[in-house]
Each structure stands twice: as C-alpha cells, then as structure tokens.
Amino acid sequence: MKAYFIGIGGIGMSAIARFYKHEGYEIAGYDRTPSDLTGELQKEGISIHFDDCVAEIPEQFRNRDTLVVYTPAIPDNSIELNYFRETGNNPVKRSAVLGMIAGDKKVLAVAGTHGKTTVSTLLAHLMTVASEGCTAFLGGVSKNYNSNLILSGSRWLVAEADEYDRSFLRLYPHIAIVTAADADHLDIYGTEKEMKKAFGDFVAQTDSDGALILKKGTEIPLDRLSCKMFSYSYDSKETDFYACNIELKQGFFEFDIRTPFGTVERCTLGLPGWVNVENAVAAVAAAILAGADMDKIKDALGMFSGVKRRFDIQVNTPECVYIDDYAHHPEELKASITSVRQMFAGRKISGIFQPHLYSRTRDFADGFAESLSLLDELILLDIYPARELPIEGVTSEMIFDKVRIHNKTMCAGENLMNLLANRDIDVLMTLGAGDIDRFVKPITKLLSTTVT
C-alpha cells in the first residue's frame, strides 16, 4: 500500500500523511520548499523532494495502485499533479481523503473563519484527558502532543473543518462548532452571502441526533438544520455556554464556565488572551455534549499548552515580550492585538504584519488598516502570494496608506532583522499566515540576547 502527497508540507496534508504511515502505507511526497515540518516528516521515514519534477517521484509510486493526494494550494499547472492525472491515477483532494477517513467515526468538526485551530486542538485535548480519547486532524501543531495528528482507537474523530475551497462539505459531523463566519476567501465564493450559504450547507450535514454549537452573533442559514442548536460566547448570559467571574491574574485568566448541565468552576487556561477564554468555552461545550467528564475538564484546561503560532509567547521578561500569532484576517488581528493590549496595559505594542494573498489584501484592506491601527507601531511586510499570481495595483501599500498611526514602516523581508536590531522593543508581535514564521527563531534569539 502506497500513498503519495503533492504538497506534503502543508499542515493538513502532513497530518493525513502521518495517519497513512501509521496505517502501514509507504509514504512519499513533494513540497515546494523545505520547512521544519517537512524535516520532521523525513525523520519519521517519509521520502520528500522539493523539485516539481516527475523524475523525482520514486519509481514505486508511479502506478495506479498509489493513492495520490493533493492540496488545493497546488497550482493546476503542477507538473507532478498533471503527470498523475494523465496516467489515469485520479488524484484526490485532501478534503476528500479526510472525509473518507472520517466516514466510520463520530465526527466533532470545528469550522469558522477564525479560531478553529485553537478550538479543535483544545477539544482534542479535552477528549483525550477528560473522555474516551479521539483521533484528531489538526490545523496546527499541538504543544501538548508535539504533532498535528493524535491517534486513538476511539469512535470519536476531531477535525478542523476548513471553509476554503468548500472543503468542509466533505465532513458529516455528529457535533459541529462554528466559531465565526466573517467574509473571507472571496476568491473562491465571490460574495459574503455565498460563503455564508456554504456554512449553512455544512451545518445542515450535522447528524439529526447531534448538535450545532454556534458563536453568538454568527449569522449563517439555519433553515435546513435538523439537530439541536446551542449558543456560546465569551461572557454573554444570553447564551447556553459562557464564561463568568473572569479575573486576570499575571496575564492569565481564571474563570467559571456556565453550561446547561452545570458550572465548571475556577478554570485556568494554560495560554493567555481573552479570545482563548472564548475558544475554551466552545471546546468545553462540544466535549460535554460528547460525554466528557465535567470533573476532569477543569484539570484538562489547566494542562493545555496551546498551539504553535497561535498566540505563541516566545519571550516574556520584564524588559521585553515577544508573541507570534497566525492572525491573517482583520477580525483575528483585532482579537489578538486587543488581547495583548489587555495583558500588557500601558506598554508599547509593536507589530510586524505580513499580508497573506493578493485577493485578501484587495478585499479587506480597510479592515486590515483598522485593526493594525490598534498597534502603537507597525512594520508592514510585502504580501505573501501563496497560491496566487500578482493582481495589478494590489500591494501592501493599500493597507499601509490607510493605517492611522504615525509610527509605521514598510520593510522588505530581507531587511527586517537589521531594522529590529536598531529598535527598542517593549512588546512585539509577528502576525500573518505566510512565511513570516521563518523570522520567529531569529527574532527570539535577537530579543533574548538583547535582554541578557
């Protein structure tokens, strides 16, 4: 049994590759560039190359018996993708394969234009510690399990349900969470209405004896919903699940979670930020509805270490703080920056932001500028194109010119470290979903050396 992955270095693709390797498959794959993740896969015995070239595909994978999986981030003119198509192999998208794996499981699916990675990772942790366990395919690397894949013989499967390319329509949840449905991926959907319709299609696929957990204020079509629906929020008493008695202690929150089934009292979460209290409420709601032990949930929350690149504190000293975050949508940026502002009140907050995609920059330039204006200082990088070709007239300057703060700088990536070396840093954030993560280690080293 063999499986070949085109775009194996993607967070979702690598989890499925690891799953099939555990199932006894021989695995190989291609990715555009080496990364920490591809390095880990190679250490696990997976053959990976970085040239889009048929000659690089190991001979034993070039037949119709090979399961060929590709990510929609791979362009249509990919040499390897078209080779497999032309030889009759019928490559399948990652989302379809995840749907096949999930077919005989009870699925806990977390969807939303932001928050889904933290919520799904926390939910998987709660099911592991406070319930019967789960298999989980995560959109980030869990710090607790040092992986984006958790394996279990349990009937439960936790999956991040990605709205991009309508991938989440391959999942049929027993319990679905929707964290947000703000306009995004308009390159796929065209309009916000069409995107919300897709969310409506997704939740309509929830088992009739299951449940939908919907964040308060999220507007999606519910006319075809056949299951029970519960609402959640950060602290609204008008919802079914919410936090109360919230206290900030040394940057971390202590809180109760009210549920229709009782109260989980004096919870502490192993990661900071008010937005993560809200994420915890969503995860706890799903875990309880899936039968988790409420008495064990409190301890499980305190044990949770978070997800790499999600509000990820790299340096935290009295002199200097550095936080890396994946935020790449205006609402995500707003939540992340306001969380930092609350934690470090009165301090100077600097942010380095790398816009992700030309189309997203074009569609949400005003929103990005509004959120980034919450910073005290902005360093703005060039757009990370990912799967897109340039769009005429669309550059980072579209955002830069609309940012209201005076202390703002445009910077090419190759000049960033020199720029930072000559700055006095108080609280620094790196923000974005592109390759800005390549700066995390050097920035951490720079700031740690400066503090020392």
205: pLDDT strictly greater than 60: yes
130: pLDDT strictly greater than 70: yes
Q: How far apart are CA 278 and CA 283, in angstroms?
A: 9
Tell me which of 257, 284, 303 is where a domain ends.
303
Q: How far apart are CA 19 and CA 25, in angstroms?
A: 9
**Domain check: are 211 and 324 in the same one?**
no
Residue 134's pLDDT is 97
Whole-prediction pTM value? 0.86
373: domain CATH number?
3.90.190.20
36: pLDDT strictly greater than 90: no
451: pLDDT strictly greater than 60: no
Q: Please tell me what DSSP assigns to residue 231.
A: E
**Looking at residues 215-240, what average pLDDT do you find?**
97
**Domain check: are 252 and 378 in the same one?**
no
Task: Quickly list DSSP for 111-166.
Answer: E-SSSHHHHHHHHHHHHHHHSS--EEEEEEEETTTTEEEE--SSSEEEEEE--GGG
**Domain check: are 189 and 235 in the same one?**
yes
Nearest-CA neighbor of 353 among 395, 415, 396, 388?
A: 396
Residue 309's pLDDT is 80
**Domain check: are 148 and 182 in the same one?**
yes
| Residue-range definition of the domain harbouring residue 7 | 2-94
**Domain check: are 288 and 338 in the same one?**
no
Contacts of 128 (CB under 8 A, 6+ apart): 134, 150, 152
**Looking at residues 115-119, what average pLDDT do you find?**
93
**Domain check: are 40 and 87 in the same one?**
yes
361: pLDDT strictly greater than 60: yes
Encode pLDDT of 403-412 as tens digits.
Answer: 999 999 999 9
**Domain check: are 340 and 218 in the same one?**
no
**Domain check: are 60 and 117 in the same one?**
no
Residue 450's pLDDT is 62
44: domain CATH number?
3.40.50.720
DSSP tally for the chain: helices H, then strands E: 14, 21
Number of domains in the chain: 3
**Domain check: are 221 and 263 in the same one?**
yes
**Looking at residues 28-42, what average pLDDT do you find?**
93
Percent of the chain with pLDDT strictly greater than 70: 99
Percent of the chain with pLDDT strictly greater than 90: 81
Under a CB-based contact definition with an 8 Å cutoff, are residues 179 and 114 in contact? Answer: yes
Tell me which of 94, 128, 158 is where a domain ends.
94
Residue 23's pLDDT is 95
**Domain check: are 296 and 321 in the same one?**
no
Mean pLDDT (the chain) is 94
**Domain check: are 56 and 187 in the same one?**
no
Encode pLDDT of 308-349 as tens digits.
Answer: 888 889 999 989 999 999 899 898 899 899 989 988 989 999
Residue 100's pLDDT is 95
185: domain CATH number?
3.40.1190.10
> Higher-confidence residue: 448 or 233?
233
Q: Sign of torsion, CA 168 174 177 182?
A: positive
Helix (H, G, I), strand (E, B), or coil: what is residue 428?
Answer: strand
167: pLDDT strictly greater than 70: yes
Encode pLDDT of 183-197 as tens digits.
Answer: 776 777 889 899 999
**Domain check: are 176 and 134 in the same one?**
yes
